[in-house]
Amino acid sequence: MSEVIWHDVECGSYRADLPLWEELAAKTTGSIMELGCGTGRVTMHLGKDLARHVLGVDRNPELVSSLWERSQMRSGLAEIGDVRDFDLAGKFELALAPMQLIQLLDDEQDRIDCLSCVGDHLKPGGLAAFAIVEELLPLPLEGASPPLPDVRQTEGWIYSSLPLESVAGPDSIVLRRLRQTVDPDGEMTEELNEIELCVLSAETLEAEAIEAGLRPVGRRQIPPTDAHVGSTVVLLQKVP
């Protein structure tokens, strides 16, 4: 099944973090990059509202190609690259890593490589913002209704993704969703999808950032929604 479809279903409608990215972007005048841009939820949102260059980076060619198509083949809007080792032209004033991107990496060394690479691409005084999940709250939140599935219909096909549970272990957090597909003839198939995140605290990420040459300069919070966990956003600056 196309990763583009499921990325759109499960991430496309998420908006809880956009006000923070807008706020940080409004304080800059130079170029912005987004790590793990996917099909362009954040990159295209900021790019259409700001009169400056916004560039997404993602290692999945299918997702980057979809972003190109949606932006009317503006290939400069995204590039294929591994967040641990990418090489972009120019320097950036702001780097964003939404939706726990850094926790998808395997270990400390991968994170330090990513942080170092980001630092290499920032202007002196430039800011990087990494969203992580530190504490899992039970979903649905107390007093809230059970989460509804994220649903999208395309060319007679119906795609549904229902958040099931978040399970925290000593070293990882597993996010589980039930994916269901209904074809134009009414046949339904389903599968369990799991995303594994490394357990990571803001303090640990800040210590790794210092090792990578970045300076911690604060934290912000993104609240949970019925279908998505909340995030701590760790702010890091390239030392002028």
User: How does pLDDT run along the chain (240 residues), one tens digit per residue?
Assistant: 488 999 999 888 899 999 999 999 999 989 999 999 999 999 988 987 666 789 999 999 999 988 888 877 554 588 999 999 999 988 999 999 999 999 999 999 999 999 999 999 999 999 999 999 987 655 554 555 667 888 999 889 999 999 888 888 888 889 899 999 999 999 999 999 999 999 999 999 999 999 999 999 999 999 888 767 789 999 999 988
Question: Which phi and psi (to 5°) does residue 173 adopt?
Answer: -120, 130
Pinpoint the residues of the chain covered by CATH 2.20.25.110.
150-197
Please state, in angstroms and as integers, the Cα–Cα distance from residue 108 to each residue in 5, 59, 115, 163, 209, following that order.
31, 19, 10, 28, 11
C-alpha–C-alpha distance, residues 121 and 40, integer Å: 20
C-alpha–C-alpha distance, residues 127 and 118, integer Å: 10
Q: Which amino acid is at 203?
A: E
What is the 3-state secondary structure of 148-170? CCEEEEECCEEEEEEEEEEEECC
Q: Where are the alpha helices (DSSP H) in the chain?
A: 3-11, 18-26, 41-49, 61-70, 108-121, 202-211
> What is the SS3 assignment for 200?
coil
Determine the CATH number of domain 150-197.
Answer: 2.20.25.110
Pinpoint the residues of the chain covered by CATH 3.40.50.150.
3-135+200-238
User: Which CATH number is 3-135+200-238's, of 3.40.50.150, 3.40.50.10490, 3.90.1150.10, 3.40.50.2300?
Assistant: 3.40.50.150
C-alpha–C-alpha distance, residues 45 and 209, integer Å: 27
pTM for the model stands at 0.90
Residue-level pLDDT at 75: 46
What torsion, rounded to 10 degrees, do the Cα atoms 111, 113, 119, 121 define? Answer: -120
